[in-house]
Amino acid sequence: MPVSTRLGARRAQRHWIAFQTRVLAMNAAVEAGRAGEAGRGFAVVADLVSSLAMRAEEEAQRARDGLIATQTEIGTAVEAVTRVDRALEEIAAEVTKVHGLLGRMSEDNAAQSDAISEIATAIGAMDRSTQQNAAMVEQTSAAARGLTDEVATLADQAGRFRTGAERPARRRAA
């Protein structure tokens, strides 16, 4: 049975009890009036029952007011829970997006790492090639210096030889 139905049944039951108590008090007052002096005790009982009926009605009203306040608070709490639920759903969706972005970033980082490794390998190969070229240039330079020295030596040795063709030219110059 829903809460609102149970609360309505209890409220009706309290009203019925208060009504019955007021009827009982009125009957006691009527009987006290009929009995006259002998019904004085009845009149006291009637007053007590009447007071009880009023208190019962006041308590029923307080209970009604409390129930209304509670129902209002429950409604407010349900709305708050609904808002929190929606907010949590939005947060979960955003967290899922963040996970997706982190996954893509991880993939991009791996690709960049691979590219950097390839670049480092290419730079290493270029460095080895440059060192080999430098060694070859050094060897070529050393060979060129050696050849220069040999050419100078050959030119000096060739300059010592005298051929017959040079004599007439010397004589003419003389």
Token pair belonging to 111: 């690709």
Contact predicate 35/42, CB 8 Å = yes
Report the alpha-carbon distance of residue 174 to residue 8 in Å, rounded: 152
Q: Structure pTM?
A: 0.44
Token pair belonging to 138: 């050094």
Domain at 3-149: CATH architecture: Orthogonal Bundle (1.10)
Tokens 């460095």 identify what position? Answer: 127
* Structural domain boundaries in the chain: 3-149
Per-residue pLDDT for the chain (174 aa), expressed as one digit of tens each? 565 566 667 767 767 777 777 787 777 777 777 777 777 777 777 778 778 778 877 887 888 888 899 999 999 999 999 999 999 999 999 999 999 999 999 999 999 999 999 999 999 999 999 999 999 999 999 999 999 999 999 988 888 887 766 555 555 555
